[in-house]
Amino acid sequence: MTDTLDPKITAAPANAGSDENVTRPPQPRPAVVRPPALKRRVPKVSDLAPLMQFKKPEFSKAARLKRASTIRELRDIAKRRTPKAPFDYTDGAAEEEITLRRARQAFQDIEFRPGILRDVSRIDLRTDILGKESRLPFGIAPTGFTRMMQSEGEYAGSQAAEAAGIPYTLSTMGTASIEDVAAAAPNGRNWFQLYLWTDRDRSLELIERAARAGNDTLMVTVDTAVAGARLRDVRNGMTIPPALTVKTVLDASYRPAWWFNFLTHEPLTFASLSRYTGTVADLINSMFDPTLTYEDLDWLRETWKGKLVVKGIQTVEDARRVVDHGADGIILSNHGGRQLDRAPIPFHLLPEVTSALKADNSNANVILDTGIMSGADIVAALALGADFALIGRAYLYGLMAGGREGVDRTIQILEKDMTRTMALLGVSKVSDLNPDHVRLLQR
């Protein structure tokens, strides 16, 4: 007969004499004491009332712009409010737009290297550029056809720059005259951008007008021997002024505010040119001078008594050479990717150029544009040796999103970005930024 073992009794192992091997009954777990705040209860109306503060929806321009915290969000607003042709003219670039994508990617392919235990209670963004102080280390770049993007155009840009204490650059292809911009922003620091035409007398006339209007800097652009292949403009049938076709009328039905402003303000014309009708590329190819050489730069240096900067520098050799020919500053720029696709990226070129000019004991200012979409981008450029930056598309996105207030918002966003980035880097003023604060990552 087999004994039936009580299941509660466990057979002792061979070395049962050791206390360590005695199986003990499980010990009861201590009771969990739940904090009063975690005990379930029926909510009281008095508890819910502070949470139920529903805000009245706001659809004003000010509310719309306030909700934008980045330049990309301003771009989204601009795209919704602007017809396709002028938006694409701003947003697009040449051919496959490889250069523009690479320029923006260049700013993303960095690593900031912050310092700690620094006093950053006050951040000073002031800097000197071309002999005068700017409250922020960036200015507004020259842009053509600006009132086509939004009817306030150059007036909004120049007045916003004046209020912010930064330079504003009027383009030869602008839709407001040199004199009107000076009158709109009489206390602003206005620069004039020049395309040298085949007609030198007309170029000289513009230079003289810029000087009389108080512009202290002449910016000559040298990367437009011919027009780039801006395929978005070709596909959109982009003309000056915009043509009213079935396609544009349908596009306008979704953006009535733009068309209302366009049709109820002064007709769009080039303020520095005679009235022109045709495609943008045809205008550039008929007006700009493909024979431009360093001798013309020497002529400009003799003619213009203020500061002279050359925009469109894309090699170290050209940077050195234009300085040798009298330039007070250079602008590393590939025209926002709108001319030669697969062109050098200014941000990549920056360390080599600044090193070369330093080796030459040059005092020329180095300015950078192309690809800037945040204040952190500007901080990175300054750390790698730029003295200043220019914003083009970022400013136009704000303009299209909300006119003058939109440009103000662009500047506010960039300033806030820069202040925060510098504080987190442990840097309290622009002059303390240096290459140790940025590392270029390898892709």
Catalytic residues: 335
- Contact present, 75 and 420 (Cβ < 8 Å): no
- Contact present, 285 and 292 (Cβ < 8 Å): no
- Contact present, 312 and 331 (Cβ < 8 Å): yes
DSSP 65-98: HHT--SHHHHHHHHHHHS-HHHHHHHH--STT-H
- Closest Cα partner for 164 from 420, 392, 421, 414? 414
Report CA-CA distances (Å) from 257 to 1, 61, 81, 394, 400.
Answer: 102, 12, 8, 21, 11
Strand segments (E) across 251-297: 278-279
Angle, alpha carbons 102-108-113 (nearest 5°) = 140
**Dihedral (C-alpha) 412, 417, 418, 421: value to the nearest 10 degrees?**
160
* 3-class secondary structure, 107: helix
How crowded is the C-beta side of 434, counted as CA atoms within 13 Å?
Answer: 3
Q: Alpha-carbon distance 292 to 351, whole Å?
A: 28
* 3-class secondary structure, 312: strand
DSSP 385: T
- Token pair 């360093």: residue: 294
Report CA-CA distances (Å) from 22 to 26, 27, 434.
Answer: 12, 14, 70
